[in-house]
């Protein structure tokens, strides 16, 4: 993992959210690392978790690429363009590409398949958030992805620009401090309590995790904004619990999401940009859907690996 991801991971370990792993090493961006007979280079990319990398692997004869989680409509698109061009110039023998958006029946990954929302860009998300703040007369609650500290920082800026203050939980405050060197002023249980928020709900935005959903029971809430926080979607049993609890307490639920994963069309575009000899779709509930699309729309040979089979790469695979 990259150094920023390593720092985030260590912070989550210290908070008791993640378990430690032995022999874990961070790598610098664009610096090849030797792992046995392999050379591995991590390149900065774009996803909804900052620090994500794409990997270029060389075994002395062949070059292999791995997209990792990636999107093309994010604020760091130039990073994706850079590694995709390098992959193209390296004439990849094999490209492993994620396929999250092919996992679902909808074109984009959405939380509620029965009532799909429209995923936004990170910029459009903040614009819509600002509009919501302007029209809410009570407390606005957000449930963001805990590891996306870049979006949480953007929420701070948008909240302040619209005359409110963002209140966060201690874990999010610690993550923010560790990764951005700025600790939020208003932290539940440290510098502000729920009673203060209850007295002037129109002055605040409250970041609220699923574990502390009960905090909202006695607060006047205008809207609960689900922004890719946990539970992530209806494939998680807790998601139905969340919807039921909010409905029982007459708190409107609204999705304010920006996916960290490329659309189906963008995944096809990415493979065309890389132009590999062989492409393997994975990281998907339905990689066969992506395989069919790639087979129809790209020049790459599509491979769906079978369990317990071993594959070798011949010289002809890179010479042709």
3-104+261-319: CATH architecture: 4-Layer Sandwich (3.60)
Q: Give pLDDT tens digits for 80-115.
A: 999 999 999 999 999 999 999 999 887 766 666 666
Q: How many CB atoms lie within 10 A of CB 243?
A: 17
Full-model pTM: 0.88
Q: Give pLDDT tens digits for 29-80.
A: 999 999 999 999 999 999 988 899 999 999 999 999 999 999 999 999 999 9
Q: 122-255: which CATH number, 3.40.50.10710, 2.60.120.460, 3.40.50.460, 3.40.50.300?
A: 3.40.50.10710
CATH 3.60.15.10 positions along the chain are: 3-104+261-319
CATH 3.40.50.10710 positions along the chain are: 122-255
């Amino acid at each position: 993992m990259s150094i920023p991801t390593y720092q985030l991971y260590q912070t989550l370990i210290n908070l008791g959210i993640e378990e430690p792993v032995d022999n874990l090493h961070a790598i610098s961006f664009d610096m090849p690392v030797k792992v046995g007979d392999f050379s591995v280079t991590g390149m900065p990319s774009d996803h909804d978790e900052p620090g994500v990398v794409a990997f270029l692997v060389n075994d002395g004869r062949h070059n292999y690429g791995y997209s990792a989680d990636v999107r093309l409509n994010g604020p760091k698109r130039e990073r994706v363009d850079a590694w995709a061009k390098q992959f193209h110039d390296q004439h990849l023998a094999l490209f492993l590409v994620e396929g999250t958006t092919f996992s679902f029946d909808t074109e984009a990954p959405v939380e509620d398949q029965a009532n799909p929302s429209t995923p936004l860009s990170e910029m459009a998300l903040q614009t819509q958030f600002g509009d919501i703040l302007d029209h809410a007369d009570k407390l606005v609650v957000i449930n963001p992805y805990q590891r996306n500290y870049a979006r949480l920082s953007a929420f701070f800026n948008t909240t302040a620009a619209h005359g409110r203050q963002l209140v966060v939980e201690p874990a999010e405050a610690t993550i923010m401090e560790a990764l951005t060197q700025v600790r939020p002023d208003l932290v539940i249980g440290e510098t502000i309590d729920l009673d203060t928020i209850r007295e002037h709900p129109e002055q605040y935005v409250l970041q609220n995790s699923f574990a502390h959903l009960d905090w909202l029971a006695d607060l006047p809430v205008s809207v609960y904004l689900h922004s890719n926080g946990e539970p992530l979607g209806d494939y998680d049993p807790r998601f139905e619990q969340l919807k039921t609890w909010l409905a029982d307490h007459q708190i409107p639920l609204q999705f304010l999401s920006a996916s960290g994963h490329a659309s189906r069309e963008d995944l096809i575009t990415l493979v065309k940009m890389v132009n590999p000899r062989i492409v393997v779709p994975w990281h998907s509930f339905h990689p066969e859907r992506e395989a069919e699309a790639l087979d129809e729309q790209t020049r790459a040979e599509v491979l769906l690996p079978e369990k317990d089979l071993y594959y070798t790469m011949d010289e002809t695979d890179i010479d042709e």
